Copies of this chain bind each other. A is one copy, B any other.
Amino acid sequence: MKLPKRTIQRLSRYRRLLYKYRYMSEPYIYSHDLARLLYLNPVQVRRDLMLIGSSGNHRKGYNVNELNDLIGETIDSLEVQKVGIVGAGRLGQAILNYLTEEETNLKVVAVFDIDSQKIGSKFCEIECHDISKVSQIVLEQNISIGIIAVPSEFATSIADILLNSGVEGILNFTNVHLDLPKSIYLKEFDIITTLEEMAYFVKNK
């Protein structure tokens, strides 16, 4: 069964919240608490959890560890999904740092840059390779998700390289809109456009 995108997003958020309860002596949580902490509707929370086969206990709520495992079975791959970050500037490093701190089934296995000072050194224990090796390393390491955090003028060529190396998902942080085949799962986040849009609506309130 393929779940809707919004459900997957919420399951991911449930899990991140539930991680915090794991070390409690009796980790149970009520759907209304889960809903309240995530600003969601309790009915929706119960419906989402029902969808993955968890109905909870009427008196005690949901067993946190069981729920965690169940969400994991639903949204994680059996194998870890490997991620490559192209661009080891401030943004690339921020993303890397964030991904290594959070518990997820995503593992950054390589970082790439053109700066010879960065190549060969490690960021958060992940080796930084020459950007010319993207294709080789994506293939060797079986990287399925590529993050583009390079200056805008290189976005299209990096996307092409990632695409041709067999990456299946791309997260693009540049302001260049990518036109990729539908078979690639693409997410884009353009900070400047978002801020200009915000500025326009703030001004016209």
> Chain A residues in contact with chain B, CB under 8 A?
2-3, 5, 8-9, 12-13, 16, 38-39, 75-77, 81, 83, 89-91, 93-95, 97-99, 102, 104-106, 144-145, 168-169, 171, 175, 177-179, 183, 185, 187, 189, 191-205
* A198 contacts B187, C-beta separation under 8 Å: yes
A191 to chain B, nearest CB (A): 6
A102 to chain B, nearest CB (A): 5
* B89 contacts A94, C-beta separation under 8 Å: yes
Say whether, besides A91-B91, A175-B16, A205-B168, A102 and B199 are in contact (CB < 8 Å). Answer: no
* A194 contacts B179, C-beta separation under 8 Å: no
* B93 contacts A203, C-beta separation under 8 Å: no
Residues of B with C-beta under 8 A to A105: 196, 199
Say whether, besides A12-B192, A104-B192, A5 and B177 are in contact (CB < 8 Å). Answer: no
* A202 contacts B75, C-beta separation under 8 Å: no
* B2 contacts A196, C-beta separation under 8 Å: no
* A99 contacts B194, C-beta separation under 8 Å: no
Please pick, from B2, B5, B12, B202, the residue contacting A145 in the complex, using a CB distance under 8 A: B202
